[in-house]
Structure 1
């Protein structure tokens, strides 16, 4: 979120952000993808007891403890929250791990980073609490779970007449945006916004991502009809 160009525009040219509503041209396959998920990065440090690897029974391996946490996250069953008729599916993933001191030492500390995609009905505190409760007894008193980064979600905003007209013009039912976008930044600025654009969202950020000329033409025609109808 901190890298959003909208924040710079808001600082240098706030007049450009005076709008009744906004469309973020994310790839959506020509459908309106309403709102967006929040994204939460959490750092977890678990503790152990350092020892020689020839006598591991005199210590406690923190990386082995981390394995139980990773296994728990791998079994996560996504929560589905319906907000204004739109179903948002939450996700929880381990995105990095770290640990180890030397080849002959049982590590006394290990870390991982979690990425939690959060529905618009939850705040930061609620999201952190949900993760902590999900990990349950795997977390001990000396372990540290800390927020590394947080970008809040955005609600669907489907009651706004411009966005309603866009849904009708798209010819497809609105659905939830999977991922975080600047719709959330605009929402914080008081501007109702939605995601709508050409291209397959399942190809986003892949090396073979592409968009066809016909998709771009359809996208432009829909916007033209919305603006001049």
Structure 2
């Protein structure tokens, strides 16, 4: 009976849903400080515009850390790696939620940014691996739903929690949501060994492909413009 119960939750689409929920959590925490800048500033005796620098620090940390961190963990089995990513994610939210000053708050956000960088580097390939070829586009669409819902509902919910319980509670509740996401991934994902993990030696080959170089350039410009604004 236990074996049947476990195999039920190992079905591919449960894993896709767990990754979709995780995407919702990661994108919610990415933008939720926008709605809390005034409250954080009042709490730490800072202007909201000065507090907003932590959004810039977060964005640049993700952009700079994504490639080296992904290469560093390229040989780690993916389910185990996600457990470590979520551990950093949860602990960093706890740090942000109890931060006595702006410097510690930024330190917590940098930890979250490291987790963010690795999660998005591996989650898209993982969600495709979980399903049969005919389900790949549907799985990717579900992941994008998690991202979209975070923008539409996650940020306002975070703001509402901040209004009702204080901005620190928002970070602590996201930590709890992260624990739920971590548990869901542990239960639903099978062991996933690395496949086609990149290396420093493979980077020159990528840069020799004009279409990829163009795609990289457009992505850098678009994301930089978005976060600069």
Indicate whether the TM-score tops 0.5. Answer: no
Range class of TM-score, shorter chain: under 0.3
Q: Which has the higher strand share?
A: 1
Q: Which has the higher helix share?
A: 2
